[in-house]
Chains A and B, each alone.
Chain A
Amino acid sequence: MDAIILQILNGLDKGSAYALIALGLTLIFGTLGVVNFAHGALFMIGAFCAVTISRILTFSHEVVDETRTDFLGNPMKVDVPYIHSIVGQNAGDFMIDWAVPLSILFAIPVMIGIGVIMERGLIKHFYKRPHADQILVTFGLAIVLQEIIKFYYGANPIPTPAPSAFRGSFDFGAFLGMDANSIIYPYWRLVYFAFSLVIIGAVFAFLRFTTFGMVVRAGMADRETVGLLGINIDKRFTIMFGIAAAVAGLAGVMYAPINSPNYHMGMDFLVLSFVVVVVGGMGSLPGAVLAGFLLGILESFASMSEVLELLPGINQIVIYLVAIIILLTRPRGLMGRKGVMED
């Protein structure tokens, strides 16, 4: 029993990342009909937003501390972040500690900006071209973005710690009335899961309960008619592209403490996220979210030692295997609508 709960929990954080990226991919595909291979790069840029903010906050200058001495007896030089002299020592330390959550504020406008520029500058010209061309140009863009990040931040993963308040682990076993220490789960992963639920909820609420969202949904169903009604649907779709980029970026920001950001993390997630989108059903938002969590949990179950004894190596291939089976037996995916990209 505890093993099962542990695997479900383990699957949740990866599943959350899959779900968020797949949600963004589906938003772009559903609105603009574009297959965006650069979406993983947006996730990666999000993670590097967190890196950037934590670097800016810890940007320091050397100060001679007269009260302490180094081993030679001279006054010691200490690195003091500039933030201390701006907001004071306590507030400064607090901000440095909470760098990752603070980056969210920075990442939202940046990611929306990148998304809008991408759509207006590049993707716009590819609506009438075949899907293969869209895949290729966004694939090229992904390489370029990835290399730019690599140039400025280097090729090595950059550890970006979570706030110290969330650094420990939560004892789920004791919480559920089982033996203490039977199920231990890092706090930050719980935070990530909750965060992803909030984002997913926000996106759905935005589409469901606002006029803007209603127009966008109408446009997804029948773009031409909405346009004929005198609504500038292109502009709204551009904004949706920005929002999709922001969703991917936020997923990346919060993922930074779980997995130290490196320049190719986006590509690693992208391939799996595409599989998730296809399993969930091309163009279906709930499908993308559901499939994201399901495949995340499935992957973590497949890496249990009992399963691995029975079917060695299954943890590496289970997602692809499921995707192949789904595509062949139910081409429109779990929750895909009839007629959307079925051929």
Chain B
Amino acid sequence: MSRHPAARVLGALLLLALLGAALLRGVTFRAEMSDLLPPGSTPGAEFLLRELRSGAATTLLLAGIEGAPEPELARLSRAVADGLRASGRFAFVGNGVQDLDEAERDLLFRYRYLLSPATSPALFEAPALRDKMVALLDGLRSAASPLLARFGFADPAGAFFALLGAWMGESHVALREGVWFAEGAAAPRALIIARAKASGTDLDAQAATVGAFHEAYEAAKPAEGARLLVSGPGVFSTAAAAAVRADVQMISVLSGLLIAAFLWWRYRSLLMLAAVAVPLLAGTLAGTLAVALAFGAVNGAAFGFGMTMLGIIADYPVLLVTQRRPGERLEETARRLWPTLRLAAAAATLGLSAMLASGFPLLAQLGLFGAAGLLTGVAVTRWGLPWLLPGQAIGPRPLPLPLARALAGLRGARWPLLALPLAALALLATGGPRWNQDLNRLSPVPQAQRDLDAELRRQLGAPDVGTLIALGGEDAESVLRAAERVGAALGPLVAQGAIGGFDSPARTLPSAATQRARQGMLPDAEALRARVATAAAGLPFRANAFDRFVAGVAESRALPPLTPAGLAEAPALSARLALLLSERGGTWQGLVVPSGVRDMPALRKAVDGLGDPGILLVAVKAETEGVVAATTAQALRWAALGGLGVLVLLAAVLGRQRGGAMAGLRAALRTATPIGGALLVTLALLNLGGQLLTPFHLVALLLSAGVGMDYALFLGSAAPAIPGDAAAEAERTLGSVLNCTVTTLLTFGLLAFCGTPVLRGIGLTVALGVAAAFTLALALAPRLRTHP
């Protein structure tokens, strides 16, 4: 390598870029939503999070087509649905067309008396049969007679129509032009619902199913203006990744340009720009590598957040280069500053490491990313930069005079400390920090995408459920029996109006026990033939009119009960059942979903009354809020522990430097005061600004505390070692710290303009914290003995 520093720095940058390219190629990035979910601590929360990660709902895709006249939308809906069915990626595609094909209808017709809730012994007695026959005769006169003629003689008891009626009664969707349309929407929107065969955890396959939607849509040659809207977990991951990527790119470019401009203004040296970039790049690479090694893969969101956070590494080279004394070699400067720099970096790393134990995958990744990045950044600054810039005299230009005067006035001025009691008062007055309870605020999924999802769900009549009852069992049969017990307990609640209704897997497929019980209610052929003859006496039916009925009942008595496997021939009903009954890892799980819950205590009492530990009532909103609160509390505990650790570290190190535990503690407290004060001021400002705190705010607070530590340590350090040159030394230190503050503000201030809520929160917190830490550290710094 050349001896010329520019060549060395450029060479180092090139090397890092190559390493980075190799790393990005080798590391697996994932966009799994489950990483963004905190761990659950109650059975209800665990169940819920498992459902969110891999439940039946994760394979469901909802789509709308809009922006064209109804006939065109109907044509598109049909073409897209046909394309999806032909792709073979979907277990079920519903758009209103041909829900029940012939094979499925025949299967259901064959099982009508086993499946229908109308089956009872009385239904097959002569009086009931006669009523049904009179009604059939009346129906045969109507325009619907072909249908009645087709099914009515084989099923005068009406079990099949009762079955279809019960299932159809739940439709919320308007059928126009032969396909589903959103009811009551301002502009027409055709609706499609599809269930992917791929598991919800197989992200590549999920992405491919989303792709299949767009391919089918493009193949249908949509008219000008028509739009396809798709929602579902696969879309969510992609949208979240894209949103974070767009934000991070925007921030990287903009803040890069701004920092470059600022550094150019302060140093007038391209070499300085390159020198700052080296530790920054190295730190980012190290962070990525550490997370990839420890977690196997890097979550895209953690990478994005972490990269922006590591912007603070730029502080180290700025501190180093700016504090060089005239004539001093950079290596000497590095050696002189090292104890302080090392302490600052170690303390910041310690704080962030606490997040590793938070149990929240994304926070843990962020903590590791930050810690590894900071350590690498400081090490490269200490040992790399002096080698890259031997004897190079890059120095800052003097600060503009008004600014220098203002800063000099601020140094040691105690009045900014008034901000501390004011902040404490503001916090008290506003009732302390407000914590976020909404899981959605932690998610990088763009708000517009979430709104679309909620809208499509509502229009398809599948709104997000507020309450559900989870059932577990060894096999489908035991789950279905449990669902029937729950159904029996909920029936009275529906009658009382405590709940509006409920959906149950047993409604689609009764348990084998129930089916056998219904078989037991069916009369034998001889008895039934006699009753039919009695019932039909005097009515204009031919003698053999109901032969198909008698034969059908006889067949029903001998049928093996229908099981989930047997329902495979019925795709529409299987898809319906799969939402509420599924197998996972050898055990079966079912869901009973109450709707219109008006009396939660009554519902809880009814479910508790069953006394079955396998039946779990889950209040979704309360549970997710509980999860968020528990995660936040845990993050807070670990953050506090990290803070305490930092204080102990400071006291220990400073104590050794000052010679004495008490002196160390005093020095530690003096260093910690501006940081603690900055945290207080930041919390108060966030609170006044109406920000709800999330665990990410805590990470950002830890980060700004780490940055503030640099300022406090450097500005607060003891009188300069070269007598007589105190003023120049102090000004160099102040200049370096000021430059750090401005570069950090430029990066994190920009984050406040991001679309991703988490990034906005981090940006705002760090920017406020750093500004406050700088002001307080300067105010608490020792006054200069001589003034220039």
> A and B: real partners?
no
